[in-house]
Each structure stands twice: as structure tokens, then as C-alpha cells.
Amino acid sequence: MDEPLEVVTRFCAAWPRLDLDELAGFFAEDAVYHNIPLDPVTGRDAIKSTIAGFTGGVDTVEFEIVNAAATGNVVLTERIDRFISPARTITLPVMGTFEVADGRITAWRDYFDLNQFMSQLAGG
């Protein structure tokens, strides 16, 4: 079984493919995903739908891991997330916390500035 840091590293590396089934497959069936400025979603299907919602209209997404640390089943990531489309690239600094059990992500919390994301989305 992969170590939690390996699971999270593979998950982050999978994003450019934007294969929603592949991304959803990293999660436990009852996982919780919480973009801290927004409401959490629970369950693999709800997480997949949420990912589909914020990746619609982009060609690719990159998660650049700047720093990562793991202790036990918890992995912390400092990332630069990029949402790339023909019209623009949105670049967002993010701190993420992942909890992993039995090779699957059971909880994912991302902390970022929603206003920064929205202003870039609006072209500002």
C-alpha cells in the first residue's frame, strides 16, 4: 500500500489529464472535500461533480507542489494551482490538507483566497 505522501503526490500529478473518473478514484467512498471558503461535499460522486464544476471550460489544471510534509496519515501541501484555458491562466496559491487511509483520500481541505480566484476568473 502506498504511503499517504505518495498517494497525494500521484493525485496532484493526475490533474493535467482532467480524467474525472481517475481523480475521483483517489477518494474513499465517504470522503469529504472542503474548499474552505465554500461548503464541504461528502462522497466520491459529489466530489467528482464538484471537480467537474470548477474545471468546466479549462483545458488543463496543474497542481505544482511547492512543499509537502507528512506525518502519519496527514499530508500538508503548499501548492500553486493553475487553471489553464485559451482565454487565461488562473494562478492560485493554495495550502491543502489531505487525510489518507488504506491508499485513498478520506478528507481534503484546501485553503485559498476566493476573492483572488474570482478576480482572476473575471479577468482582473
Q: Is 59 a catalytic residue?
A: no
Enter the pTM of the model: 0.93
**Residue 110 designated active-site:** yes
Total count of residues recorded for the chain:
124
Confirm if 99 and 107 have CB atoms less than 8 A apart: yes
Q: Quickly state the pLDDT bin for 121 (edges 50, 70, 90).
A: confident
**pLDDT (mean) for 20-49:** 96
1: confidence class by pLDDT, cuts 50, 70, 90: low
Query: Of the listed 19, 45, 59, 110, which one is catalytic?
Result: 110
As a whole number, mean pLDDT of residues 25-39 equals 95
Q: Which residue has the higher pLDDT, 54 or 74?
A: 74
At residue 68, the pLDDT reads: 98
Determine whether domain 4-121 maps to CATH 3.10.450.50: yes
Helix-, strand-, coil-residue percentages of the chain, each rounded to 5 = 30, 45, 25
Compute the distance between CA of residue 13 and CA of residue 32 in angstroms, rounded to an integer: 20
What is the spatial distance between Cα 82 and Cα 64, in angstroms, rounded to a whole number? 8
Position 114 scores a pLDDT of 79
